[in-house]
Chains A and B, each alone.
Chain A
């Protein structure tokens, strides 16, 4: 945020904060060790509030769980902001010195009274008020989120809505206060750091910023396309239009992980050329023209990854890859050679040192320091720089250093997949502790708690539908249908249902989900699908 794509705070700070809003995140299960740090904070007296449609295992740790309607996050944020302003709890000094657009923002949220907030989110007014006051009054406060915020058609607005609250209360840029997206995969952060984004070069340097781009062109001796590229969802749209004809997939399984699976299969199968580089013969690899077996990055190769606290850490080779599988780096270097460019020896430290020359925020992170110091947090500008514990302290300089942080006026926009008589139930999706993504890696170990895919229903809905625990039911959305056994779950309220996507071979959850996505981030609205559920014999 604010130009740097990472969480602002370190793990140690969450142990010393006073208030945490855990918003759209079941970190207890999805980020278990981060949750250890959070619980240390709670044990030291931090107040935890969970905002989540489900009363997840994380939410059970919260002093108050607020079960908002799926996709009403902007509405809740606007209401909290309005309440904070109405109570005079905003951080005046911070707002005046470090932000812009405040008056428009104030006017924009004026109509979001507690009553309207309750109407639009389903959260009782008193609860909204309590959380807003606690957050605003805390000396230190953090907002942490995961895909409950970002897997929506208005993902960016959702994130901006959280940023607004932090700006309003001055809870950013200080020790123990911050905005923290928890990364879902071990190098999502590092991928972004390295420019695996349609608009960025390594170090979050915008590809359309000519002086920055030219720096790379000089170093690489090639022209870099001056316009930002497509994100994943745009790529599929380009396939739809026939503009994208070849795809090189490294370590992704879109055949299983993308929304609206029928469409994904059609588009991938329709490509002229599909290359898949993976450690497994995934469902996507099965339809590929070329499969490049790869070494497992975390234990069969050398390199670095970046964690959710921006810490760059070394991964190391503990054992050789199976016969035929090769290091990603070697494959890419070989491919370059075949395409006529010799990059020299495929040495990870050499590649890393090149990153350090081009990305100022990584410049100080030599391998030697990464080894000796157990990793470093970016930005780390030179060999003497310790790496920043938290980001954006510049907002607290007087006068503020660099541009001010803008408030954004955001409209509540409910999920695209509307509920109606035919599809009356809201399906939301998520992960379970013992599983990971599409289960390719976690399906192997013998977890005593694995119970396969289920459609989780509230006790009331189960009763209304006349279905019992374990009974297989037909689940239909506007895009497809699957059959799955029922699990009755009291953490759900009537009308709200839940599934994972961990067992695609058993139940292809993403046949149901909608590919409506955020135009800026390209993330699909996995969190909000309209479904109907029928008993098998009745349908």
Chain B
């Protein structure tokens, strides 16, 4: 299909390469992390600064593509002169800040946060959490066997993915991905208050009755496996999910002309999952229902 005015000769090459208007050069901010001088661009966060200094700051609710909500508090660091610890993921670096990324106060806060989470939430499918618990010496059992938890039956109300809120740490990522940060569908929000707060549709209606369009962008950002694609869940349940036997190949989605980068996770010559790289400028890790779940036709042939 061409709908252009038929021009016989190709248009001449533009004499200048078209560019976006230049960004104002950002000032640099100098601070120290664990005694080491670091320089970051103005507007950068303490997390950026710590990473620039080679420090590994644990995060749970943070993701580059989402607005920081700094709810989990696992990334807190100590800023000299501040009354309380600062969330590294959202606190902007200021000139002259003296940051301790792993001080005793920081370690205690991270340990207790991990203990609080582990005593309330099933973290069995949360990647990296066991390592973190060991790193900070977390002992959730000290809150007692009767400690209140968010245990509840998994919600299985559609064929594409399930919601196991007994594994939910309330990081808000799914709400952000469903909302203003990406999908703008707003099928889910945080409802209730305090320990009873949870991710919910309106009146807790099943997903098929909600505004959900099954883009699965919530699954992509979930840090604990509380949200999981049904095929992955079923394979796990059958004991057949084996990431060591999976390959990941980046390609372009077959549907529509947007050109979304898609990573196909293939196990035993079958696509078992589709994701998108968060650093891809077109998708920022997001896909639509067709991209994320529509791959099954590949196996319906032959």
| Chain B residue at minimum C-beta to C-beta distance from A38 | B184
Interface residues of A in 297-316 (CB under 8 A from B): 297-300, 305-309, 311, 313-316
Which residues of B in the span 8-25 have a Cβ within 8 Å of any Cβ on A? 8-21
Instruction: Tell whether A473 is near chain B: CB-to-CB under 8 Å.
Output: no
Instruction: Compute how far the CA of A395 lies from the CA of B153 in the bound complex, rounded to whole angstroms.
Output: 62
Contact A175 B4 (CB under 8 A): no
A31 contacts across to B, CB distance below 8 A: 256-258
**A374 & B281 in contact (Cβ 8 Å cutoff):** yes
Partner of B266, one of A279, A298, A318: A318
In the complex, chain A residues whose CB is within 8 Å of the CB of B196: none
Closest-by-CB residue of A relative to B250 is A316
- Closest CB in chain A relative to B67 CB, distance in Å: 11
Q: Which one, B52-60, B77-85, B94-102, B284-292, is touching chain A?
A: B284-292
Please determine whether A33 and B294 come into contact, CB atoms closer than 8 angstroms. no
Q: Is residue B300 contacting chain A, with contact meaning CB distance below 8 A?
A: yes
Give the distance in Å from the alpha carbon of A318 to the alpha carbon of B274 in the complex.
11
Given the complex of chains A and B, what is the CA–CA distance between A7 and B136 in angstroms? 53
Query: In the bound complex, what is the Cα–Cα distance between A61 and B180 (angstroms)?
Result: 13
The one of B2, B8, B260 that contacts A521, using a Cβ cutoff of 8 Å: B2
| B278 CB within 8 Å of chain A | no
B-contact 0/1 string along A381-407, CB 8 Å cutoff: 100011011111110010001110010
Q: Is the interface of A mostly helix, strand, loop or mixed?
A: loop
- Interface stretch of the complex, out of B32-40, B142-150, B208-216: B208-216
User: Does A449 reach chain B (CB closer than 8 Å)?
Assistant: yes
> Which single member of B2, B180, B184 contacts A197 (CB below 8 Å)?
B2
Which residues 106-164 in B have Cβ within 8 Å of A in the complex? 158-160
Indicate if A181 sits at the interface (CB-CB under 8 A). yes
Closest to A441 in B: B297
Q: Render A355-381 as a binary contact track against B, CB cut-off 8 A, 1 for contact.
A: 000001100000000000011000101
Pick the most buried of A32, A280, A401, A440: most chain B CB atoms within 10 A of its CB. Answer: A32
> Would A297 and B254 be within 8 Å (CB), given that A11-B281, A36-B286 are in contact?
yes
Residue contact A307 to B13, C-beta cutoff 8 Å: no
A30 within 8 A of B: yes
**Is there a chain A Cβ closer than 8 Å to B244's Cβ?**
no
Q: Do A523 and B296 have beta carbons less than 8 Å apart?
A: no
Q: Number of residues in B with C-beta < 8 Å to the partner?
A: 73
A111 touches B (CB below 8 Å): no
Distance, CA A209 to CA B266, complexed state (A)? 47
Q: Is the CB of B259 within 8 A of A300?
A: no
Residue pair A186, B11 in contact (C-beta under 8 Å): no
Task: Choose from A11, A325, A379 the contact partner of B13 (Cβ within 8 Å).
Answer: A379
Contact of B254 among A299, A313, A375, A448 (CB under 8 A): A299
Taking the complex as formed, is A539 at the interface, i.e. its CB lies under 8 A from any CB of chain B? no
Interface size on A, residues (CB 8 A): 110
The CA of A444 and the CA of B159, in the complex, are separated in Å by: 12
State which of A311, A393, A403 has its C-beta within 8 Å of the C-beta of B14: A393
A313 touches B8 (CB 8 A): no
Contact of A448 among B1, B208, B258, B259 (CB under 8 A): B208
The verdict on A308 contacting B257 (CB below 8 Å), with A43-B180, A385-B17 known, is: yes
Measured CB to CB, the nearest residue on chain A to B9 is A209
Known contacts: A33-B260, A184-B256. The answer to whether A401 contacts B12 by CB under 8 A is: yes
- Residue of B at shortest CB range from A39? B184
State the CA gap A294–B12 with chains docked (Å).
39
Known: A446-B159, A448-B214. A305 touches B252 (CB 8 A): yes
- Judged by a CB distance under 8 angstroms, whether A343 is at the interface is no
Q: Chain A 154-182 against B: per-residue CB contact (8 Å), 1 yes, 0 no?
A: 01100110010000000001010000011
Q: Nearest A residue to B158 by beta-carbon distance? A: A448
Selecting from A102-110, A198-206, A240-248, the interface stretch reads: A198-206
Q: Is A344 an interface residue (CB 8 A)?
A: no
A5: CB under 8 A from chain B?
Answer: yes
Q: Are A299 and B271 in contact (CB under 8 A)?
A: yes
Interface pair B259/A306, CB less than 8 Å apart? yes
Closest to B260 in A: A33
User: Is residue A189 contacting chain B, with contact meaning CB distance below 8 A?
Assistant: yes
Whether A406 and B269, one on each chain, are in contact in the complex, defined by CB atoms closer than 8 angstroms, is no
Cβ–Cβ contact A436 & B3, under 8 A: no
Query: Nearest chain-A residue to B206 (Cβ)?
Result: A448
Determine if A323 is an interface residue (Cβ-Cβ < 8 Å): yes
Report A538 CB to chain B, min CB distance, Å. 34
Q: Which of A5, A318, A375, A402 contacts B4 (CB 8 A)?
A: A5
B103 interfacial by beta-carbon distance below 8 Å = no
- In the assembled complex, the CB of B196 is this many whole angstroms from the nearest CB of chain A, namely 28
Chain B contact residues, CB within 8 Å of chain A: 1-21, 158-160, 180, 182-184, 207-208, 212-215, 247, 249-261, 264, 266, 269-271, 280-284, 286-291, 293-298, 300-302
What are 23 contact pairs spanning A and B, CB under 8 A?
A3-B7, A31-B256, A175-B19, A188-B1, A199-B6, A209-B8, A279-B301, A280-B301, A296-B298, A299-B251, A307-B282, A309-B259, A314-B252, A315-B251, A323-B302, A388-B18, A389-B18, A403-B11, A444-B294, A444-B297, A446-B160, A447-B160, A521-B3
User: What 7 A-B pairs come out closest when comparing CB atoms?
Assistant: A307-B259, A183-B257, A322-B302, A3-B7, A318-B249, A32-B288, A446-B159
